[in-house]
Amino acid sequence: MMGSSYITGLLMIVVAGLFAGSFSVPFNRNREWVWENNWLVWSFIALVAAPWIVAWVTIPDITVIFASESRSLLAVAFFGLIWGAGAVLFGKGIDLLGVGLSMPIMLGLTNVIGTLMPVILRSPAELLAASGIRLMAGVFLIVLGIVFYAVAGERKVRDIQASVNNNNMVADRSFLKGLMVCLAAGVLSPMINVAVVYGAPMQEQAVMAGADPIYATNVVWCIALTAGCIVNVGYCLYLLYTRGTRELYRKGSWRNWMFAVVAGVLWYMSMMIYGMGGHFLGDAGTSVGWALMQSLAVLTGNLSGLFMGEWKDAGTMSRRIMWLGLGCMLLGIVVVAI
C-alpha cells in the first residue's frame, strides 16, 4: 500500500512531467527568432542562472561540499557534459520534427535508458524481483508506444506531402534526418539522471551540512547543468556567427526575451521538482520517478502539439496509430506507478 510520502512524491513527479512536456511551447511564439537565438537564452536561464540561484539558497556551505567530494563532482560534471550534447540535439529535434512528434520519440527513449540505468548501476538483481519485472513491463509498453508514434509521424509527413503534391523523397529525407537527431538525443539525454546517481555522496554531504533532504539534489543540478551548458552555448554561438542570426537579438522585442526566459524557467522547474519528488520515492526516485516524469512529459508534449495544430493535416490512419501509441505509453505509466 502506498504511503502518504510516496503519493506526495508521485504528485510532484506529475507536476515535473507537465513542466518538462510544455517548456518548449513558448518557443513557438518566438517567430522572429530562430532556434539558436531561443536556445542560447534558454541555456543561460535553465542551465546556469536558475540552478545556481536555487543551490545557493537551499544548500549551506556548498563550496565546502564541492571541495570534500571532488571525485563525485567530477563524475557529475562528466555526465552533465555528455547530457549537454544530448540537450543540443534535443533542441534540434524539436526544430526539425515539431513538438508533437519529437517529444514522444526523444522523451520516450530517454525514459527507457534513464529508468533502467540507475537500477543497473545500483543493483542489477533488482530487475529480477517483482518490482523490477513490473518496471521492465511498463518500460516495454512505453517503447511500444514510441514505435507506434514514430510510424504515425512518418505517415503524417507522407500525408502532408501528398496533400501538396510534393516529392515524397524530400519528405522521407527530412523525416529521417529529424528521426536520427531525436534518437541520438534520446540516448544522450538520460545521462543527467546518471549524474544524479553519481552525485549521491554530494547529496549526503548537503544533508549533513544542514540542507533539507528535499532540496539535496540541487547540489547536483548546478554542477551537471552548468557542464552541459558549455556544449549548448558553444553550439549556439557557432550558429549565431556563421548564420549571422545574432543580429536578430537587436531586432527582437522584450517579448522574445520573455518567451525564451519562461521556457528556461519551466524546464528547470521540471528538474528541480523531479529531484524533490524523487526524495519522497526513496530508491525508486531515479527509476520509477524518472519513468513517470518522462512519460508524462511525452503526453504533455503531444497534447501541446495537437493544440498547436501539428496533426491537423494528418490522415485518419496516421491519427489512429498516434493514439494507439499514446495509449500504450499511458498504460506503461500506470504499470510503472502501481
Residue 337's pLDDT is what? 65
Looking at per-residue pLDDT, the higher value among 242 and 113 belongs to 242
Instruction: Give the pLDDT band (50/70/90) at residue 23.
Output: confident
Print the domain residue range for 238. Answer: 38-337
Tell me which range, 112-121, 222-231, 321-330, is most confidently predicted by mean pLDDT: 222-231
Q: Does 6 reside within a domain?
A: no
The residues, ordered by sequence, that sit 6+ positions from 44 with a Cβ below 8 Å of its Cβ are: 229, 233, 264
For residue 168, pLDDT beyond 70: no
Q: Does 273 reside within a domain?
A: yes
Alpha carbons 153 and 17: distance in angstroms, whole number: 22
Instruction: Give the pLDDT band (50/70/90) at residue 173.
Output: low
For residue 286, pLDDT beyond 80: no
Q: Does 90 reside within a domain?
A: yes
Q: Does 211 reside within a domain?
A: yes
Task: State pLDDT tens for residues 97-146.
Answer: 776 667 667 877 777 787 777 777 777 787 778 878 888 888 888 778 87
Residue 100's pLDDT is what? 60
Average the pLDDT over 12-32 and give the result.
Answer: 84
Alpha carbons 309 and 305: distance in angstroms, whole number: 6
Q: Does 18 reside within a domain?
A: no
Tell me whether residue 164 is exposed, middle or buried, using C-beta atoms within 10 angstroms of its C-beta: 0 to 12, 13 to 18, 19 or more: exposed
Alpha carbons 331 and 248: distance in angstroms, whole number: 44
Domain count, the chain: 1
For residue 232, pLDDT beyond 60: yes
Residue 99's pLDDT is what? 61
Average the pLDDT over 206-212 and give the result.
Answer: 95
User: How much is the pTM?
Assistant: 0.78
Q: Does 28 reside within a domain?
A: no
Alpha carbons 295 and 337: distance in angstroms, whole number: 11
Residue 170's pLDDT is what? 44
Alpha carbons 163 and 47: distance in angstroms, whole number: 41
For residue 284, pLDDT beyond 50: yes
Residue 318's pLDDT is what? 84
Looking at per-residue pLDDT, the higher value among 189 and 43 belongs to 43
Alpha carbons 232 and 84: distance in angstroms, whole number: 6
For residue 254, pLDDT beyond 70: yes
Q: Does 8 reside within a domain?
A: no
Alpha carbons 259 and 88: distance in angstroms, whole number: 19
Residue 124's pLDDT is what? 78
Give 67-131 as a DSSP string: HHTHHHHHHHHHHHHHHHHHHHHHHHHHHHH-HHHHHHHHHHHHHHHHHHHHHHHH-GGGGGSHH
Looking at per-residue pLDDT, the higher value among 146 and 11 belongs to 11
Q: Does 233 reside within a domain?
A: yes
Task: State pLDDT tens for residues 148-164.
Answer: 877 787 787 777 666 66
Average the pLDDT over 253-267 and give the result.
Answer: 92
For residue 200, pLDDT beyond 80: yes
User: How many C-beta atoms surround the C-beta of residue 25 within 10 A?
Assistant: 19
Alpha carbons 115 and 117: distance in angstroms, whole number: 6
In the DSSP assignment, the letter for residue 215 is: G
Looking at per-residue pLDDT, the higher value among 225 and 302 belongs to 225
Instruction: Give the pLDDT band (50/70/90) at residue 176.
Output: confident
For residue 2, pLDDT beyond 70: no
